[in-house]
Amino acid sequence: MAEAASNLQIDSARLWDTIHETAKFGATPKGGVRRLTLGPEDKQVRDWFRNACEAAGCEVHVDALGSMFGLRKGRDMSKLPVGLGSHLDTQPTGGKFDGILGTLAALEVVRTLNDAGIETDTPICIVNWTNEEGSRFAPATMASAAYVGDYTTDDILSRKDAAGVSVGEALDSIGYRGEEIVGARKLGAFVELHIEQGPILEAENKTIGVVDRGQGIAWYDGRVIGFESHAGTTPMPLRKDALAALAEFVLAVERIAKAHGPNAVGTIGEALIAAPSRNVIPGDIAFTIDIRSPSADTLNAIDKDMRSAIAEITARRNVEIALDLIWRKEPTIFNPKLVDAVENATKALGYSHRRITSGAGHDACNLAGVVPAAMIFVPCKDGVSHNELEDATQSDCAAGANILMHTVLALAGVAS
Ligand SMILES: [Zn+2]
C-alpha cells in the first residue's frame, strides 16, 4: 500500500461531532436517542445522511425496503463494491452509538479518503440498513435479512407495527420506498463497526474486538401440564404441581447452560400460569426458552440435555412437559480472510485487541450467509446498550473507525 494510505488516520473530532450532531434527531432528556425505524426522526437522520453522502461525492441509491447505499466510485467499476456501514434506527430508549457509530464511521472513512485524495481500485459503498432494531416492526435486521433472501420483500412490506401501520405505508410516509430491487445492489464484501454491547473488552482493557463468530440462537415454546387441585386438601405426595416441576426445569436449564460454558447461555424469560389462584395447585404453565451458543454442536447438545432433564423431572413428578423448537438461527462464522484483514489492521495500527464472539444479532451476521463479511467491536461503558446511558469514548470510536478504514483499504485496494 502507498505510504500515504498506510499512515492514514480518520478525523476523530469530525467523527465525534457527527455522532453528536445526528443525536439531536430523536434526542431524549436523559441523553439518549429515540429514533424508531421509519418514523419522523428516522426521516430526519436519513435526509441528513443522504446529504452528507452526496456532499462526500457518493451516489445514493435506496432499495424497496428503504436501505440506503452511498456509492463511492473506484477505478475499476466492473468490481463489486466493498460495503461498510450499519444502521441509524434506535430502540425506544436507545443510545447514541448502537448502529450509529458504524454508519457514521463509514461516512468518515469516505471523507478521509476524499481529503487524502485516495482512489480505491474497487468501489466502496456506505450502507444504512432499515430496521435493525426490530422494536417498531418485527423481525429485527429485517432489511438485511430480505437482502440475502431470508424473506421476500412483499412479506416484509406487509409487516405491521402496534398501531397497524405497515412497513410499506411507513416507507411511503417518509418518502423512502426506493426503486432498487432488494438484493440487487451486490456487494463483494461487507464490514460493520459496532459497539460491543457487552462487558468483555472493557473488562480486559482491549480497544478492538476482532469478531470471528456470531452466536447461534434456538427459541423454544414450552408447556407444563400437571393437575389443578385444592391447595388445602391435596396431600403433598399426591400433587402434580406444574410450577414446582417448572422450577426444577428452570434450574436444570441454568445448570446445563453453565456446563456448556463459557459461551453458552440459557434463559427462561417467560412463564405464565394459565389460571393462577392462591389456593389452587398450578396445573398448566406456558413458558419460553432462549438458548445461544457460537457452536451448532453445543446448541444440539443443550437440546439433548434439556430433553433428558425433562424426562427425569416428568417421570418423578408425574407431569408432562412439551418442548417445541420454534426458531433456530445457526451460528455465524465470519469470513476468515476478512477476519484476518481486521486483525492485521489492528496489529499494524498498534491497538490492543482480542478475538470475540458477537452475542447480539447484527446486519453483518445476515450478510455473512451470502457475502464475505466481518465485524469490528469497540468497548462501551459498563457493557450497557439498548439504554439511554449507552456510552463510548471518542478515542475508542476513532480507533474502530481507523480499523474500519484500513480493513476496507486492504479489501478495496489503493489505485496507484
Ligand atoms: Zn446495532
The three grid cell numbers given for residue 273, joined into one nine-digit string:
400460569
Q: Please give the distance, rounded to the nearest whole angstrom, from the Cα atom of residue 133 to the centre of ligand 1.
A: 7
Q: How far is the CA of 104 from the centre of ligand 1 (A)?
A: 13
Confidence grade of residue 329 (pLDDT, cut at 50, 70, 90)? confident
Q: How far is the CA of 317 from the centre of ligand 1 (A)?
A: 44
> What residue type is 296 in one-letter code?
A
Instruction: State in Å: Cα 382 to ligand 1 middle.
Output: 17
Across residues 138-147, what is the average pLDDT? 95
Q: Is the predicted pLDDT of residue 415 greater than 90, yes or no?
A: no
Centre of ligand 1 to C-alpha 228, Å, is: 45
Q: What pLDDT score does 263 carry?
A: 84
Å from CA of 206 to ligand 1 middle = 20
Residue 151 neighbours by CB under 8 Å, 6+ apart: 142, 145
CA of 362 relative to ligand 1 center, distance in Å: 6
Ligand 1 centroid – CA 209 distance (Å) = 15
Distance in Å, CA 236 to ligand 1 centroid: 50
Asked if residues 414 and 395 have their Cβ atoms less than 8 Å apart, the reply is: no
- CA 279 – ligand 1 centroid, Å: 46
Which sign does the torsion angle of CA 111, 117, 118, 122 carry? positive
Grid cell listed for 339: 477476519
Q: Is the pLDDT of residue 2 over 80?
A: no
* Mean pLDDT on 174-202: 97
For ligand 1, the distance from its centroid to the CA atom of residue 119, given in whole angstroms, is 29
CB-count exposure of residue 131 (10 Å: 0-12, 13-18, 19+) = buried
Distance from Cα 376 to the centre of ligand 1, integer Å? 12
- Integer CA distances (angstroms), 39 to 131, 146, 200, 253, in order: 11, 20, 33, 39
Give the torsion through C-alpha atoms of 59, 194, 410, 189, to 10 deg. -60
| Cα 379 to ligand 1 centroid, rounded to whole Å | 14
Q: How confident is the model at residue 3 (pLDDT cuts 50, 70, 90)?
A: low
Summarised one tens digit per residue, pLDDT across range 304-325 is 999 999 999 999 999 999 999 9
pLDDT (mean) for 12-34: 97
134-138, 169-173, 227-231, 394-398: least confident range: 134-138
Residue 399 Cα to ligand 1 midpoint, Å, equals 18
Question: Could you give the percent of the chain with pLDDT greater than 90?
Answer: 94
Is the model's pLDDT at 78 over the cut of 80? yes
Task: Tell me if 224 sits within 8 A of 245, measured CB to CB.
Answer: yes
Gap from CA of 280 to ligand 1 centroid (Å)? 45
The predicted pLDDT at position 6 comes to 86
Specify the pTM: 0.88
Check whether 416 has a pLDDT greater than 80.
Answer: no
Three-point CA angle 93, 394, 348, nearest 5°: 125
Q: How much is the average pLDDT of 333-352?
A: 97
pLDDT for res 1: 53
Average pLDDT for 327-351: 96
With pLDDT > 70 as the criterion, what percentage of the chain qualifies?
A: 99
CA 410 – ligand 1 centroid, Å: 25
- How much distance in Å is there from the Cα of 360 to the middle of ligand 1? 8
Ligand 1 center to 89 CA (angstroms): 8
Model confidence at 271, pLDDT cuts 50, 70, 90, reads very high
pLDDT for the residue 327: 86
Confidence band of 297 (pLDDT split at 50, 70, 90): very high
Cα 55 to ligand 1 centre (Å) = 25
Residue 5: pLDDT band (50, 70, 90) is confident
Residue ranges of E strands in 159-264: 189-195, 208-214, 216-225, 229-230
Q: Are 210 and 358 in contact (CB under 8 A)?
A: no
Average pLDDT, the chain: 96
Q: Are 373 and 334 in contact (CB under 8 A)?
A: yes
- Is residue 95 within 8 A of residue 389, CB to CB? The reply is yes
Q: Give the pLDDT confidence score for residue 290 in this predicted structure.
A: 94
Task: For residue 142, report the distance from its CA to the centre of ligand 1, in Å.
Answer: 13
Compute, in angstroms, the gap from residue 241 CA to the centroid of ligand 1. Answer: 42
Whether the predicted pLDDT of 165 surpasses 60 = yes
